[in-house]
């Protein structure tokens, strides 16, 4: 009998510390004396607040908290998991995989664990991997979990508008955890992941970077901060994300207005609405987290999905699309029936 992956539950976890945009401006001023124009970040991004981790809170901790909630909601025993995927930008350490650390915290044995990393599309790629495992019979019950501690990549040493420009996107970053439990379900049921579409445009990899940690710059502190060419990234998103959304719609035979819930990667509120309009998707179909959680990287999509769940927007049979645009530059869209 042919199978596909069905999302049976989602969970989320947010650090306790709430950081407002006013807090951001105050910290930069205290660090260098530079004063960001009042209300600038709010106007440009729509981000009013975000969460920052506690000093001893790791990426795996946020993923673990979200995973426990997702497992409880799925009403499964954690030992049923035969695949654990940690899918995030962040990681606890360079080696081994953070999935191993998450496995220990979950207390799960006899399961395959791997990390999947592709910038802000990591979670989407993790779902795609889990779906592929289930379609080929290699997995029956999987966890895809994300823990982002992006606040550690912010360079607070901003002294001028010229220095603010490549760093302003980092000031919207927030920390979060999110997770989903997937089960192999018969295709004949009509539910689950119906289709996935991914593209990458490697010539654009320089548009958003954290350059340290690899062979190019090793662990040099000066290269450990997030930098981006925000205008060029926005242009790439407007040009390339609607294409992958249309491909995913065509693959399922859906129209934009058929979608019940859309969970996209959220950099700014304006970008979420702009891409939605470009795709012909009614704005009210979008679930939103960017205004009060900021840009949470790869956790953005599952965090938004968890919010839609908490708000009662996900019903049995709901048509859902997950949409990503990530540094690299890569795009992705997954269509599924809840």
Bridge partner residues of 179 (DSSP): 11, 145
pLDDT of 34 > 90? The answer is yes
Same domain flag for 196 and 183 = no
Same domain flag for 153 and 238 = no
| Confidence band of 87 (pLDDT split at 50, 70, 90) | very high
Q: How confident is the prediction for the chain on average, in pLDDT?
A: 95
Same domain flag for 153 and 167 = yes
Domain that holds residue 89: 3-187
Cα-based distances in Å from 296 to 14, 51, 185, 280:
10, 9, 30, 25
Provide the number of structural domains found in the chain: 2
Question: What's the average model confidence in pLDDT over 118-131?
Answer: 98
pLDDT at res. 37: 87
- Entry pTM: 0.96
The CATH number for 136's domain is 3.40.47.10
Same domain flag for 177 and 198 = no
pLDDT of 38 > 90? The answer is no
Q: What percent of the chain has pLDDT over 70?
A: 100
pLDDT at res. 318: 97
Same domain flag for 19 and 160 = yes
pLDDT of 186 > 80? The answer is yes
Q: Which of 163, 187, 211 is the last residue of a domain?
A: 187
pLDDT of 135 > 80? The answer is yes
Q: What is the DSSP-derived secondary structure letter of residue 197?
A: E
Same domain flag for 160 and 195 = no
Q: Which of 138, 153, 187 is the last residue of a domain?
A: 187
pLDDT at res. 220: 80
pLDDT at res. 239: 95
Asked if 144 and 82 touch (Cβ cutoff 8 Å), the reply is no
pLDDT at res. 67: 98
pLDDT at res. 44: 87
Between residues 296 and 227, the one the model is more confident about: 296
| Confidence band of 39 (pLDDT split at 50, 70, 90) | confident
| Closest to 176 (Cα-Cα) out of 303, 55, 272 | 303
Same domain flag for 173 and 273 = no
DSSP letters for 132-191: HHHHTTS-SEEEEEEEE-GGGG------SHHHHTTTGGGGGB--EEEEEEEEEEEGGG--
């Amino acid at each position: 009998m042919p199978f596909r992956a069905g999302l049976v539950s989602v969970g989320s976890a947010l650090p306790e510390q709430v950081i407002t945009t006013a807090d951001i401006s105050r910290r930069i001023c205290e660090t260098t004396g530079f004063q960001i124009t009042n209300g600038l970040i709010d106007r440009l991004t729509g981000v009013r607040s975000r969460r920052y981790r506690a000093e001893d809170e790791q990426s795996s901790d946020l993923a673990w908290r979200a995973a426990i909630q997702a497992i409880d909601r799925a009403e499964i025993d954690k030992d049923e998991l035969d695949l654990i995927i940690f899918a995030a930008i962040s990681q606890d350490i360079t080696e081994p995989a953070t999935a191993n650390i998450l496995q220990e915290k979950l207390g799960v044995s006899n399961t395959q664990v791997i990390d999947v990393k592709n910038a802000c599309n990591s979670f989407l790629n993790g779902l795609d991997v889990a779906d592929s495992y289930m379609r080929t019979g290699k997995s029956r019950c999987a966890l895809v979990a994300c823990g982002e501690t992006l606040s550690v990549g912010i360079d607070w040493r901003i002294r001028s508008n010229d220095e603010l420009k490549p760093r302003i996107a980092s000031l919207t970053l927030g920390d979060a955890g999110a997770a989903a439990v997937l089960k192999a379900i018969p295709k004949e049921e009509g539910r689950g992941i119906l289709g996935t579409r991914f593209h990458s445009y490697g010539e654009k990899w320089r548009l958003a970077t954290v350059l340290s940690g690899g062979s190019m710059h090793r662990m040099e502190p000066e290269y450990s901060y997030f930098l981006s060419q925000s205008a060029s990234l926005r242009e790439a998103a407007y040009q390339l994300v609607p294409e992958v959304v249309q491909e995913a719609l065509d693959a399922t035979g859906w129209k934009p207005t058929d979608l019940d819930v859309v969970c996209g990667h959220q950099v700014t509120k304006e970008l979420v609405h702009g891409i939605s309009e470009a795709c012909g998707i009614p704005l009210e179909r979008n679930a939103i987290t960017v205004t009060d959680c900021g840009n949470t990287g790869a956790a953005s999509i599952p965090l938004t999905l968890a919010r839609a769940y908490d708000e009662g927007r996900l019903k049995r049979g709901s048509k859902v699309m997950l949409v990503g645009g990530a540094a690299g530059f890569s795009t992705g869209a997954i269509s599924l029936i809840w």
